[in-house]
Structure 1
C-alpha cells in the first residue's frame, strides 16, 4: 500500500484549493490540499484518510476510491491506476512471459512500408520488422525504449520531442509498476534508469501515470532527416502486456519519402536491417529495486 500512499500524496499536492471551493490567503503554506480537506470533500474521516496516506489502511472500498478520484481530479488513466494500487494486496498480477507466437512474427514481417515492432510493458522491443531496425539504427531485439530515451546518446538525438518522450516513458512505466508490482525485471529497469538519469529521478518522483497512446511521433533520423509518423497500438488479446506498434507516414508526405529512402538504404546494405526474430530470454534480475514512490 506504500505505492497507494505516495500516489495520493502527489495527487493531493497538485490540486488548486480554489478550484474545489476552498478560499486561500497568503498565510497558506501547504501546496495543494490539506489531508483534512481531502477527507472532508470525499466524505471519509480524517483519521481514515491519514491512515491511507501512511499506508496503514487496507482495502479501501470502490466508493471511497471513486470519491477520492473525483476530489483529486484524476483522469481515466489515473483513476484506473488508483484502483489497481488499492487492489495490490488482494491480487498481484503476474508479469507476462513475453513469448511471441510464430504466426505473429510472420504477420510482423508482412508489414513492409512502415516500422513495426512488438513491445511489452517494460518497453522492451521483443521483435521488429527490418524498417524498425533501420529507424532505431540497431537490431530491434535487445532494444528497450526507456533506456534508449534516457541513457543512450543516440536516443537523445533521434527523438525530435525528447522532453515529451521522457514524460510518456515515465508515465507508462509508473502505470506498469502499478499493474505488475512483483516484476523483478521491471524493478531492475527502474532502478537502472534512476541511477543513470537525473531527469528520470525527477519525473519518477512526480508519480504521474499515462497510457501508451496512438498519435504523432516525430524523429530526427541521422540518415534521412525529419520523420513525422503516426503511431498506432494494437493490443494482443492472448498475450496481456504486449502490443503491436506500427509507425506509419501520411500518404504523399515527406515522411513517406523518407521511409522509402530508409528502406532502400537498408536494401543496399548501408544499414543493419534485422529480421523479425524474438528477443533472447534474459536471466532474472539479481536484486529487484523497489517499485514504490522513490523508484
Structure 2
C-alpha cells in the first residue's frame, strides 16, 4: 500500500470510482476530446450538487470529514452498490488514529475438534486469507489449503492454483475486492502491508485490480474447480465467523456427480500418509499473523 493511498483513502477511492463511470452511465452526453477516463471532477461535483472546489478538496485529502448527505450524493453519482456505499461511509467516519494493538489470530480449541469431525473440505482462515488450520479433506481438495499457505498468494502466483479454478479471472477479482473491504482504514496492519507489498511486486493482475478500488464481500456461493485426480467438482462454499477467524467449508449437492467424486477423493486421501500440519496446538498463533 502506497503511503499516499494510506494517508488519503477517501480521495483515492473517489478518484478510482470516478474513473470507472462513463458519461453515459451518469446520464451525460459522451462529448469529444475527453482526456481522462470516466467522469471529470467537475461533472461529479455538478451531479452531486456540491462545488467543484469542494470535491477537489475531497479527492486531494484536504477535507476528510464530508457530511453523510454529501457522501450519499457521491455514492449515487458513482453508482455504488450497498457494499461500496458502506465502504465509502466507513472511510469518512471519524476514527481514532492512534495505533491499534492487534491480537494474534488464534484458532479456538473447539474448532480443531470440529475440523476433525467434518467429512467435507473445511479450513480456518484469517483476515488476510492466511490458512490457519485445515482438515485432511481440505488438503486433499487442494494442497494450497495447508496451514501456513496464503490463499491470495496461491491464487495469483501458483500455476496449479490458477488451473484449479474454472473461472480464475472472477476468483481473483472477488478475492482482491474482498481484501480491500477487509482492510478498510486499517492500512497500518503489518500483515496487510506485507501481503499487499508482496503481491504488488509479484503480480500484474493484482496491481491492475488493486488500482480499481473494488470492494465486495466474499461470503457464500458456488464454485467449480478442476481437481487433478477426480476432475471437475461443483461445490458450495460457506464462510462462518468464529471469534476472530473464519471457518470455510466446501460441500456438494447430495447424491450428484460432485458428491460421488468427493467421496472418491476422501477414500483416496485415506490411503495416503496423513499430514499432521493441521493439528497445530490451539494456542499457537499463525506465523504470518501480526
For the criterion TM > 0.5, the same-fold answer is yes
Q: Is 1:246 the equivalent of 2:249?
A: yes
Q: Distance in 2 between matches of 1:283 and 1:250?
A: 35
Q: Distance in 2 between matches of 1:83 and 1:37?
A: 21
Matches within 5 A, 1:146-157: 146-157=152-163
Q: Is 1:262 the equivalent of 2:284?
A: no
Instruction: Give secondary structure in 2 for the equivalent of 1:9.
Output: helix
* 8 A contact 1:215–1:231 mirrored in 2: yes
Unaligned runs of 5+ in 1: 286-295
**Counterpart in 2 of 1:98?**
105
Unaligned runs of 5+ in 2: 1-6
- Larger mean CA deviation between 271-280 and 129-138 belongs to 271-280
**Counterpart in 1 of 2:124?**
118
**Counterpart in 2 of 1:282?**
287
- The superposition leaves residues 46-88 of structure 1 with CA deviations (integer Å, 9 ceiling, x where unpaired) of 2111011111112222222111111111011111211222237
Q: How many residues align?
A: 281
**Counterpart in 2 of 1:167?**
173
Instruction: Give secondary structure in 2 for the equivalent of 1:219.
Output: strand
- The superposition leaves residues 229-250 of structure 1 with CA deviations (integer Å, 9 ceiling, x where unpaired) of 01011122x32xx221110011
Q: Is 1:190 the equivalent of 2:200?
A: no
Return closer, same or farther for 1:170/1:68 CA change in 2, 3 Å cut-off: same
**Counterpart in 2 of 1:291?**
none
Q: Is 1:7 the equivalent of 2:10?
A: no
Q: Distance in 1 between matches of 2:94 and 2:153?
A: 27
* 8 A contact 1:220–1:226 mirrored in 2: yes
CA offset at residue 26 of structure 1?
A: 2.6
Return closer, same or farther for 1:23/1:173 CA change in 2, 3 Å cut-off: same
How much is the aligned-residue C-alpha RMSD, in angstroms? 2.3
Match 2:235 to one of 200, 225, 229: 229
- Larger mean CA deviation between 136-145 and 98-107 belongs to 136-145
Q: Distance in 2 between matches of 1:220 and 1:271?
A: 23
* 8 A contact 2:19–2:38 mirrored in 1: yes
Instruction: Give secondary structure in 2 for the equivalent of 1:230.
Output: strand
Match 2:138 to one of 132, 143, 154: 132
